[in-house]
Structure 1
Amino acid sequence: MIGRGIAILAAAATLVAGTGIADAATVAKQTTYRNFQITVRTRYSDSIWFCGDNQYGNFVCSPTIDSSKEWTLLKNWWWKGGTAVSVQGFQDSTGIIREKYCTPPMSSTTSNIYKCDAYDKL
């Protein structure tokens, strides 16, 4: 299996060097994520919501969702990388609203889910 992989890489290198038809990015294509779903870890909050720039650059706020007090993923809401997202949490027993800002990276090649650890704040 290793020999086969080396042969494929050698063939790709020959193609790149010999004709210029392919380039290294084509041979080893890697996904780059620029928009992220956010998962947040809370301690006090019974419900949370998010506000920030979505993948289109529009300022939006999500609906309120229940917080599991561990990692809670806001599914199907995408936030633009490199911009701060406000995560707000509401604690039922006290009526207190807390807020934390989380900023996903500009881009990532490993995941399109950003972990916002707000355990100390929310």
Structure 2
Amino acid sequence: MADVLSILSTAYKTTVPVTAGKYVAVDPETYKGSWEGKYANGKKFEIAISQIDGFRAQVKYKSEGTVKYQQVLIKDNAFRVGDTKFQLNGDNKAIIKTVVTDAATGSTYLDTAYATRDT
């Protein structure tokens, strides 16, 4: 049993990415609200960010049939919701990157879009 735990421990240490720096509190007004955009294929999405406390926030990601709710940690002006990364890119603008798996072929690709916040 000890060998199995040792192997798992070693594998965990080598596969988990370690990010530099610490989480710091963010300005809630920079993130709070409804962010909307459209992918290149015309598919619309909406990201609603609320309950920001320090570097934590509640996020709802919605895109044509997919709805995800998640508590996120904001670091370096970015956070992830499932396969989607939100990167703040300026005043009321963000870059959204989503990993998409093609159901027919099983291949994956990165879909990039821009979001703006309703003010």
Is the pair's TM-score, using the shorter chain for normalization, greater than 0.5? Answer: no
Greater Rg by CA? 1
Higher RCO (CA-CA < 8 Å; seq separation 6+):
1
More strand, by proportion = 2
Normalising by structure 2, report the TM-score: 0.29
TM-score, normalised on structure 1? 0.29
